[in-house]
Structure 1
Amino acid sequence: MRIAFYSAQPYDKSSFEEMNKEKAYRFLFFDIDLNEQTVKLAEGCDAVCIFVNDHANAKVLERLAGLNIKIVVLRCAGFNQVDLEAAQRFEISVYRVPAYSPEAVAEHAVAMILTLNRKTHKAYNRVREGNFSLNRLTGFNLHGKKVGVVGLGKIGLAFCKIMHGFGCELLGYDPVESTHPDYIINVNFEELLSKSDIISLHCPLVPSTKHMIKEESLALMKNGVMLINTSRGALIHTTDIINSLKTGKVGHLGIDVYEQEEKLFFRDFSEHIIDDDDILRLMSFPNVLITSHQGFFTTEALAEIASITLKNLRDAKNGLKTNNSLT
């Protein structure tokens, strides 16, 4: 099979070639995203492989169908970038990687909490400059704090397990009923917002969750709340979160995702002017920590993503519908 591999990074090439030892697939790696202009690069291929910031909208899928491409595999869990109705209409099979390493993302969320709280990033820079002062580095004990977890899927539950180990009280909200440990207390969304000292988002981006964190929901939160988002950027209304940071309603913000990240993330802008006033404003706050969608980025997760994606390609070629199938 010939696979058009969009948004390819060096680590993608390494992990997929490692899993493709038998050379059952020929990957054509493109470092640009899939969109209406680049879809023509997939001509002559049997499938396309895409990531979080690629665009598989109706027009792109129609053009893929015109190229006789009937398989789209995502090397991620989220699928908001794919028009599934259009995929069904054009008889295109779509597969995803629903759980490559829940612990990887959960651990990154915890790392953001610890960094924001104990200010280790600032202490590191101070000591390198010969400044051993502890002034303005005060944090708080995690033990005994109420931690609200929005989304109790595999990542959310992995996050809860870690925070339970710190001695936190876990408040969980998920509209989909699921089995979870007794130490997670089920609450509604409003109660979670009003009672939590720390809130961590672990849910997909769908119409019902877009901008779930906005002016109205922020108003329900405790003053000085810590908010963490390692899911999808558009869960948070950017303008509203900036206003809440300015007033002090949000005391700490950690984001591994950003609403307009497709224009920035996975690229090097160190020698360029960043033309995004919102991200520049967020970067200016001393109590904001931004990482560029690296929650998934562990050796184990990369290997699992490659392995499952290759299996999805085999299943799609053989017409097998599995739990990873979206259409």
Structure 2
Amino acid sequence: MFYGSAFQYDDLPLPREPHHEWALLHDESPKNNYLFSFEEVMSLFNHTSTFRRESDYPLVTQFLESSEWLTSTKHLLSVKEKRQQAEDLKLAPVIFTNSACATASDRDGYIRRLMEYIPVDSYGLCLHNRDLPKHLRDSIEGMFHEDFYKLISKYKFAVAIENALCVAYVTEKLWRPLHVGTIPIVMGSPKVKDLLPSNRSAIIVDDYESVEDLAKYLKYLDKNDEEYEQYFEWKKSGISNGYLLSLLRDREWVYDYSDNIEGINFFEGFECLICRRVHENLKREKTGQEKLEFRAKLEHYGCPAPVNVDDRGQRTLPSYLLTETFTSMKYIAKALRYHLERNLIVKGDSILRTAEHIRHRENQTSIT
């Protein structure tokens, strides 16, 4: 069993026998390991647990505590209260709190352009222009502090742009503003609308032709209280998205790992799934039945290449910083597969040499 962010290809146990089964749990974005963006690596695994709904043990709602937590009005402020807070504290309409800069989604590039049209308070290291209170500056503890929730609730809009644009990769960046009653500005999963509590609960960047068009709509909502407050009708009427409710109802793991809530976490749940599968095949083997075949596909993770946004905020440019890293990992994935299929030694130097050879050969073929 391997955890994606800590995965080292020279940790793979070789030679691999036909009965050896490998499992991957990767709940984080590809910036931690681009290897899983390629078929050559993903198809090595028999069992998977990722944020993709196609994986064997999906973690689509991994950062969402419950439907009750989402509909909570504990931190919800009326639009008049938000306006008063903005006047008293000199707040911008939009809050941005990220400290992981230079991302595969070019989050900073988009917000930098948005700042040309509408004020944004940036509390994190990226595009920093406003300081967090000292007790909220720890990137782990501060993120879940009640005072951090209260700070976000004072704003009309919160940037909810993921650091990668993977299908179904949705984090606390979306759920947190929805919980406190602030409209999230969302860029991330192309299927994020499938997970929203209602049809009118978030603003999706991809619905706008340009960053300027988005800014115009934000300014419109900022000046029209009735229109703005419609984005929180679902807080009163309840979640209308049946698919989201079913995901929360049917998952066997709990997100809150405190002693107050009974249940297993998704690490334990995934281990149990693997055990059930292994024992089912052991029974089949004893009774002469055909064993079940478990094999991962690219769709069990498979994130796209990093991008940069153009002047309109459209993702049309390759990432100047990350494209080479992504490309290098593509050839390492090919080299790793080449070695494993032949039970060759898997070590850094040998893999890198093979990767370079494959890259040179493919480039020569392309030129020809």
Of structures 1 and 2, the one with the larger relative CO (CA 8 A, separation 6+) is 2
After TM superposition, is the score higher than 0.5?
no
More helix by share: 2
More strand by share: 1
Provide TM-score, normalisation by structure 2: 0.31
